[in-house]
Amino acid sequence: MISVILADDHSVVRKGLKLLLEESGTITVVAEASSGEQALELVKEHAPQVLVTDISMPGMSGLDLIPQVKKHKPDTQILVLSTHNDEEYILVSFEAGALGYLPKNTKAEQLIAAVEKIATGDLFYTPEVIEILGASLIKKRSPGKSIKSWLTKREKEILAELVEGSTNKEIAEKLFLSTRTIDSHRRNIMKKLNVSNSAQLVKMAIEKNLI
């Protein structure tokens, strides 16, 4: 079972999310928080696989919460579920370390799929979010030739798949490699590019035209 903590200042929203997620049979909600501060303490206590958080909450916002969670519990993955669909909120969320961003009117099936994918450390984003990220980052795109030369042909292939949102397993099957090999390449790419999470990796790949 995937352990999840919900952070939202509306109890009705939390109750609805809990019902939806636990109906999947693969997810269990271990705690609920009504503020960023409470969410951080609960994450420290329970170390869930996934934190599903809103952005607008009393006190510490969801955007401020994300880096704090990654600092104290780096293995807890974060999904932002918010009414804010502005480019700025989405970009800041990913840059802070979130692996997914969904609007609150998301269908139950997509929400469950997002939690399940993010729990494995993979990114999850909708076509709308990809469009927003791409449109924003392409404005700042630079040739990046020197950085691009750091990567091998295989690493560039894997990076391209990661940007498309493919999981390690999917990449391994496509390239006829083991998931362990893909994970090793992924770590090497992140080390070469000096990034600490998948969201930063995808951001740099687009920004520096590495694919």
Q: What is the pLDDT of residues 32-91, one digit of tens each?
A: 999 999 999 999 999 999 999 999 888 899 989 999 999 999 999 999 998 877 777 888
Element (H, E) at 31: strand 27-33
User: 100, 124, 148 — which closes off a domain?
Assistant: 124
Any domain includes 79: yes
**pLDDT under 70: residue ranges of the chain:** 133-149, 211
Indicate the number of domains in the chain.
Answer: 2
Q: Which pLDDT does position 136 carry in this prediction? A: 59
Same domain, 183 and 107: no
Same domain, 118 and 202: no
**Residue 141 C-beta-side C-alpha neighbours within 13 Å:** 15
Give 49's DSSP letter. S
Q: Which pLDDT does position 171 carry in this prediction? A: 92
Same domain, 50 and 100: yes
Element (H, E) at 79: strand 77-82
Q: Which pLDDT does position 13 carry in this prediction? A: 94
Q: Which pLDDT does position 141 carry in this prediction? A: 44
Domain harbouring 62, CATH code: 3.40.50.2300
Any domain includes 134: no
Element (H, E) at 100: strand 100-103
Domain that holds residue 180: 140-207
Any domain includes 133: no
Same domain, 16 and 95: yes
Any domain includes 130: no
CA distances from residue 171 to 15, 117, 160, 166 in whole angstroms, order as listed:
36, 14, 10, 6
Domain harbouring 184, CATH code: 1.10.10.10
Same domain, 83 and 179: no
Q: Which pLDDT does position 148 carry in this prediction? A: 66
Same domain, 34 and 73: yes
Same domain, 149 and 105: no
Q: Do residues 17 and 52 make contact, with C-beta atoms less than 8 angstroms apart?
A: yes
**Rounded Cα–Cα distance for residues 20 and 93 (Å):** 24
Same domain, 41 and 110: yes
Any domain includes 132: no
Q: Do residues 93 and 67 make contact, with C-beta atoms less than 8 angstroms apart?
A: no
Q: Which pLDDT does position 14 carry in this prediction? A: 95
Same domain, 83 and 183: no
User: 81, 99, 124 — which closes off a domain?
Assistant: 124
Same domain, 74 and 8: yes
Q: Which pLDDT does position 143 carry in this prediction? A: 42
User: 91, 124, 157 — which closes off a domain?
Assistant: 124
Pairing of strands 27-33, 77-82: unpaired
